[in-house]
Amino acid sequence: MTKGQIRQSLSGYYDVVTTDGIEYRTRARGNFRKKKQTPLVGDWVEFKAQKADEGYILEIYPRKNQLVRPPMANLDTAIVVTACIQPDFSSNLLDRQLAMLEANDVSPVLYFSKYDLLTEEKKAELDPILNYYAKFYPVYRGGLPARLETLKTMLAKLHHQVIVVMGQTGAGKSTLLNQLEPTLKLATGEISKALSRGRHTTRKVSLLPIGDNLLADTPGFSSFELLEITKEQLPALFPDLVAYQAECKFRGCLHINEPKCAVKAAVESGEIMSSRYANYQLFHDMIINQKPKYR
């Protein structure tokens, strides 16, 4: 048996690369279905292969984390690509992604694509929002060559990490990857003006070597579920709320109906951005109204 990492998944096949850099095409044994386990890109696995294209995955090593969308495991960093325009900026979708990444202990980096396409008026409208996020996360504005170079420098300082590039359909994930590593020549799609949605140019999940890191290009999405998060866990997933929670009167304050809540006071005074708190309230309501899932 040999140990390797799944670098690509497509149509039931898994391309596994060993620590020696040799690639094998494998399939998963049927017993994974019985265990309701699915191998994911990023997984470390034990596999057996007589030939380079006839291997079988026998065991999945324990994961440090996993995401449902994109379906990946053992992530270190996520570059969340969010369009400023075409499609229009959505704080709700961004905050969902950030909460899920925080819950899985994945470090977010925010890349606001198509910033250069904004009018000066739109930039003036969006800049305070981007500056607010920059207090809590690394933020880069897309389409500005100097900012792209700083992003490249930041990535060069990371070593042996699994980094996912994720975001809504049409946000420009493949475009960003091509800018980071021009030799990739990944397909990019234009936005359909009729639907204001991007064409799904990426249909598989692949880990691509860039420097000594692995970057993943992933399929886009237009919705994003908050899975397996409880209402008690939710406040800790918003670093801007965490900064005030020690001042709340009640320990374990959920910042919804409790009196003398420092978070609500910070929202009223403008220290916490109102759209962040509105999204937090919405996510809280969604979690408490979720129908139980029976397995």
- Per-residue pLDDT of 88-128, as tens digits, reads 898 999 999 999 999 999 999 999 999 999 999 999 999 99
Report for 18-27, 139-148, 167-176: range of highest mean pLDDT: 18-27
Distance of CA 162 to the CA centre of its chain: 12
Annotated binding residue at 116? yes
Is 142 annotated as a binding-site member?
A: no
Tens-digit pLDDT profile for residues 56-79: 999 999 999 998 878 899 999 999
pLDDT at 186: 65
Q: Is residue 7 part of a domain?
A: yes
Q: Quick one: average pLDDT of 123-148?
A: 94
Q: Are residues 86 and 172 in the same domain?
A: yes
Query: What is the pTM assigned to this prediction?
Result: 0.87
Strands, E, within 146-288: which ranges? 162-167, 191-192, 197-198, 205-210, 213-217
Asked whether residue 167 falls in the same domain as residue 209, the answer is yes
Q: Is the pLDDT of residue 225 over 80?
A: no
Average pLDDT over residues 5-17: 93
Is 168 assigned to a binding site? yes
> Is 114 labeled as ligand-binding?
yes
Whether residue 248 is annotated as binding a ligand: the answer is yes
Q: Does 116 share its domain with 71?
A: yes
Residue 171 assigned as binding residue: yes
Domain for residue 222, yes or no? Answer: no
Tell me the average pLDDT across 47-62.
93
Domain count, the chain: 3
Q: Is 12 annotated as a binding residue?
A: no
Annotated ligand binding at 173? The verdict is: yes
Q: What is the pLDDT of residue 199?
A: 40
Is 84 flagged in the annotation as binding? no
Consult the annotation and say whether 175 binds a ligand: yes
50 marked as part of a ligand binding site: no
The verdict on residue 227 lying in a domain is: no
Residue 32's domain comprises 2-62
Q: 295 in a domain, yes or no? A: no
4 labeled binding residue: no
Q: pLDDT grade, residue 239 (50/70/90)?
A: very high
pLDDT at 198: 38
Same domain, 205 and 100: yes
pLDDT at residue number 1 = 86
Residue 43 or residue 221, greater confidence: 43
User: How far apart (Å, rounded) are the C-alpha atoms in residues 17 and 2?
Assistant: 10
Q: Check residue 205 and give its pLDDT.
A: 82
223 is annotated as contributing to ligand binding:
no
198 marked ligand binding residue: no
Q: Could you tell me if 72 and 210 lie in one domain?
A: yes
170 marked as binding residue? yes
